[in-house]
Amino acid sequence: MSNPVPPGLSIAELTAEAAELMRSAALSTSRSSHPGLVHPSDAAETAAALAGLTARLPELLDVLAGFLSSEQAAGRIGPGPGEDPGAGAGYDALRAARDAREQLYEAGRTAALLAESLASAAVVLAPLGSAVPLGRPAEPHV
């Protein structure tokens, strides 16, 4: 598969592109210009692809948590724009960064479990064949 994403995008932009592609995939069965799901093997391939996608999430979430840690260690985490730098806002920002790292860790654990479940579903779906006689095209699932 070729890379349809333009080079030079930030991590935030790349993940936004990935989210948009996921939305497009979910909506593909409701558009007449896309085939959607046609054969049971499509479901197996989709589950396997989703397993691969979610298996990569923990690594990206670790990158985010590591970035927050290094920014905190370098003293570059502080109150957001428009916030009063006094009155404990700096402490609140550090606490928010710590809490975010904990949430990213939990999200990574959840993603790993999801990836395992999707991989299992793909294995279970893999041997399914089509009930449509050979030579007769199947109707896309809508």
Q: What is the pLDDT of residues 74-116, one digit of tens each?
A: 988 887 776 666 666 677 888 999 999 999 999 999 999 999 9
For residue 104, count other CB atoms closer than 10 A to its CB.
20
Cβ neighbours around 53 below 10 Å, total: 16
Mean pLDDT value across residues 14-18: 92
Q: Three-state DSSP class for 31? A: coil
Whether 136 has a pLDDT exceeding 60, the answer reads no
| Separation of alpha carbons 12 and 75, rounded Å | 22
**Count of Cβ atoms closer than 10 Å to residue 118 Cβ:** 20
- How large is the greatest C-alpha to C-alpha distance in the chain, in angstroms? 73
pTM of the model: 0.77
Q: List the structure tokens of 125.
A: 């779906």
